[in-house]
């Protein structure tokens, strides 16, 4: 799984015409357990699980495939089993949180993002997605705090600069434009457009 692989998108419209791109990102296993990309089919993973029912990775990978196929309920079931087999599986908590978020279960999503962060305090994507969840609950200061943490952990994480800039725009246009410029330099097209439209 790679960084900046959008699972879903919610749009927060703002009065000044810039929208906060709120994409939940799948996490980067290189920051965690070096989990290989899912290359097996659902049937192949089911066969693997039947032959090795104590292997958390197979449940995790099948959960991801269920999610990608739009079956969040089955994804949650498999991710929960992965967690039952490997209680420190930060990646599984994070991705189960994404499923809960998409199913509009904010309390469950928040609990899973929090646990992922507890297990790995440098889990950038968990902070990012928790920030998005906080935005959906109108807890903007908490969201900004998580965007700041994302940037502190990984100064090259462009989406955090962009979303932070959107929220800063009304309060501090210069800081917002600095964030748009930074995100644009990191290859973020939305940030580049926002900078050109609002900061020149």
Domain span at residue 81 reads 6-198
pLDDT at 72: 96
Would 1 be classed as within a structural domain? no
pLDDT at 37: 65
Would 113 be classed as within a structural domain? yes
pLDDT at 44: 93
Q: What does DSSP assign to residue 40?
A: S
CA dist., res. 48 & res. 28, Å (int) = 24
Max CA-CA distance within the chain?
61
DSSP string covering 140-165? HHHHHHHHHHHHHH-TT-HHHHHHHH
Looking up residue 64, the CATH number of its domain turns out to be 1.25.40.10
Quick: pLDDT tens for 129-154.
999 999 999 999 999 999 999 999 99
Would 126 be classed as within a structural domain? yes
pLDDT at 36: 52
Would 181 be classed as within a structural domain? yes
pLDDT at 33: 40
Which residue in 6, 11, 8, 31 sits closest to 135, CA to CA? 11
Which residue in 25, 190, 158 sits closest to 101, CA to CA? 25
Quick: pLDDT tens for 90-121.
999 999 999 999 999 999 999 999 999 999 99
The domain tally of the chain equals 1
Stretches in the chain below the pLDDT threshold 70: 1-37
């Amino acid at each position: 799984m790679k960084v900046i692989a959008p699972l879903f998108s919610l749009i927060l419209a703002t009065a000044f015409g810039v929208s906060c791109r709120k994409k939940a990102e799948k996490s980067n296993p290189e920051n965690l357990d070096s989990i290989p990309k899912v290359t097996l089919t659902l049937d192949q993973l089911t066969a693997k699980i039947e032959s090795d029912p104590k292997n958390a990775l197979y449940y995790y990978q099948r959960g991801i495939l269920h999610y990608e196929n739009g079956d969040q309920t089955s994804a949650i079931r498999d991710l929960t089993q992965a967690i039952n087999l490997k209680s420190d599986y930060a990646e599984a908590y994070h991705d189960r949180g994404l499923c809960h978020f998409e199913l509009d279960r904010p309390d469950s999503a928040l609990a899973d993002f929090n646990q992922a962060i507890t297990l790995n305090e440098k889990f950038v994507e968990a902070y990012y997605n928790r920030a998005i969840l906080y935005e959906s609950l109108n807890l903007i200061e908490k969201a900004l705090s998580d965007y700041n943490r994302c940037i502190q952990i990984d100064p090259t994480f462009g989406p955090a600069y962009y979303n932070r800039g959107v929220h800063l725009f009304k309060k501090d246009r210069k800081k917002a434009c600095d964030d748009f410029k930074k995100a644009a330099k990191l290859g973020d097209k939305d940030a580049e457009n926002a900078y050109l439209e609002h900061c020149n």
